[in-house]
């Protein structure tokens, strides 16, 4: 059996009008791919936290400030990807951003197979994540520590 594929998911949260919102995207040219959060594969020798920061930048254009806290790991779990037939070992992180944009598009950078795909970003209420996100990407919302949801 092949080893699990190491992955990261990044929950980017912001507070607007006393409501926590989650950053999500859709593929501009493949809406059937569903609503997702920034995510990707951990490169060999890369730490999960570094992969989370890298994937966030490559997929959304958002950089973590040098003086900001690193992404906070909230959960690690196995998930079976029906499309590939492989098991993923998912590392789920939370970061907070005071992002002023409500919507934007971003063309993926990096050297992976998804390079040049265009993602359309927007914010949804955090409470809707489990219902809205595809591929069990919202299943870890309940693992966000209470102190993170009160920011």
The residue range of the domain holding 20 is: 5-139
Tell whether 45 is covered by a domain. Answer: yes
Tell whether 103 is covered by a domain. Answer: yes
Average per-residue pLDDT for the chain: 93
CA 30 – CA 13 distance, rounded (Å): 25
> What pLDDT score was predicted for residue 62?
96
With CA atoms as reference, report the closest residue to 25 among 92, 101, 79: 101
pTM here? 0.93
Q: What is the DSSP letter of 91?
A: E
Q: Environment class of residue 64 by beta-carbon count within 10 Å: exposed (0-12), middle (13-18) or buried (19+)?
A: middle
pLDDT > 70? residue 6:
yes
Cα separations in angstroms, 88 against 7, 50, 81, 136: 6, 18, 7, 12
* Structural domain count, the chain: 1
Tell whether 80 is covered by a domain. Answer: yes
How does strand 5-16 pair with strand 19-27?
antiparallel
Q: What is the mean pLDDT of residues 31-37?
A: 92
> What pLDDT score was predicted for residue 3?
86
Tell whether 146 is covered by a domain. Answer: no
CATH assignment of the domain containing 18:
3.90.79.10
Tell whether 90 is covered by a domain. Answer: yes
């Amino acid at each position: 059996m092949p080893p699990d594929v190491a992955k990261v998911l990044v929950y980017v949260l912001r507070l607007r009008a006393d409501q926590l919102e989650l950053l999500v995207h859709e593929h501009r040219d493949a809406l059937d791919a569903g609503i997702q959060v920034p995510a990707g594969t951990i490169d060999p020798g890369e730490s999960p936290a570094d992969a989370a920061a890298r994937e966030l930048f490559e997929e959304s254009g958002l950089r973590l400030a040098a003086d900001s806290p690193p992404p906070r790991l909230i959960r690690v779990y196995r998930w079976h990807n029906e499309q590939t037939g492989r098991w993923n070992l998912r590392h789920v992180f939370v970061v907070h951003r005071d992002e002023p944009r409500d919507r934007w598009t971003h063309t993926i950078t990096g050297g992976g197979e998804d390079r040049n795909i265009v993602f359309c970003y927007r914010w949804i209420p955090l409470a809707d994540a489990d219902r809205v996100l595809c591929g069990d990407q919202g299943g870890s919302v309940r693992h966000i520590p209470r102190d993170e949801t009160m920011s």
